[in-house]
Amino acid sequence: MITYILMFSISLLTSSLNLLVIISVSHFRKLHSPTNLLLLSLAVSDFFIGLLMFFHIVQINGCWLLGDSFCVIFHYLAYIFANASTGTMVMISIDRYVAICYPLHYNTKITQKKVQICVSLCWTWSVVFQSLNLMDNFKQPGMYNSCLGECVIVFNYIGGMVDLILSFVVPITVMLVLYLRIFVVAVSQIRAIHSHTAGLTLHGSVNVWKSEIKVAGSLGVVVIVFLICLLPAFCVTLTGQDTLLNTSAAAFVIILFDFNSCLNPIIYAFFYSWFRKAIKLILTLKILQSDSCDMDIL
């Protein structure tokens, strides 16, 4: 019962907080930047992950009562949103890498149009890849069940290995390498700023660069939390010990995996003043005013 209550609370909180992010970035024109578009993509995937957590509550005791076809659809959607979330994390890392390491070229290399194309490709790839990966399960739903009430999805060996490499190994490697590079560049630049004695001519550019560092730091926290929350689930997958987990251990892995989607908006609220302002405007219904989308909340 405690597990059910905990998962229901996390699911409700995850969906609500990410819905606030979606409304904020979509509604206010001042927030229509390439970086925030990536946050919007992440919030959309996290929002749907939060909704799917309701069905994890049904599955947590090992008994699935919603039919074989819906079992396949549930896993299909869960894998799509998880893949889209991971792909968006990689794009966020690339965005911050270019902003910190190549600040003079950021506005030409990272544009709204390019980010829209990359986000669309990320979601399209997630849909197509998981459709191919679960093709056999769609053809015969429930073919791998051994008894009534089971919800079993089986990948073929090649598909499973490709999914593991593209969904975990490659993204984790890319994110770690990019953020290590960002950290090295940030440290060297901070030292250069502190040792520089020139005055007002560089004041504006230094402030801009510091703001980029702040954004990189906050999104770095998002990436670190992402890695911590997803690591247990992928370690279980890598070692092939998923069938040996008891109910409590399985519940912990699932809750930690899904809880990452709840933490992202909380991190935004802690680091971003614009998100806190947007929440106030949304909850007070001031966004219903005719000119609310042009409000300056930055």
Question: pLDDT tens across 69-121, in order?
Answer: 888 888 899 889 989 988 998 998 898 888 888 888 888 888 999 999 999 99
How far is it, in rounded angstroms, from Cα 11 to Cα 49? Answer: 8
Question: DSSP string of the chain?
Answer: -HHHHHHHHHHHHHHHHHHHHHHHHHH-GGG-SHHHHHHHHHHHHHHHHHHHHHHHHHHTTS---S-HHHHHHHHHHHHHHHHHHHHHHHHHHHHHHHHHHSGGGHHHHS-HHHHHHHHHHHHHHHHHHHHHHTHHHHHSTTTT-SSTT-------HHHHHHHHIIIIIHHHHHHHHHHHHHHHHHHHHHHHHHH----GGGHHHHHHHHHHHHHHHHHHHHHHHHHHHHHHHHHHHHHT-GGG--HHHHHHHHHHHHHHHHHHHHHHHHH-HHHHHHHHHHHTTGGGSTTGGG----
205 or 109, greater pLDDT: 109
Over pLDDT 90: what percentage of the chain? Answer: 13
How far is it, in rounded angstroms, from Cα 77 to Cα 88? Answer: 16
**Full 3-state SS string of 16-27:** HHHHHHHHHHHH
- Reduce the DSSP state of residue 165 to 3 states and report it: helix
Q: Please, which pLDDT band fits residue 208 given cuts at 50, 70 and 90? A: low
pLDDT tens digits for range 164-193: 888 888 888 888 888 888 877 777 766 666
Domains of the chain by start residue, with CATH:
2-193+200-294 (1.20.1070.10)
Tokens 């930055």, located at residue: 298
- Assigned token pair, 103: 């600040």
Residue 5 is predicted with a pLDDT of: 80
Over pLDDT 70: what percentage of the chain? Answer: 79
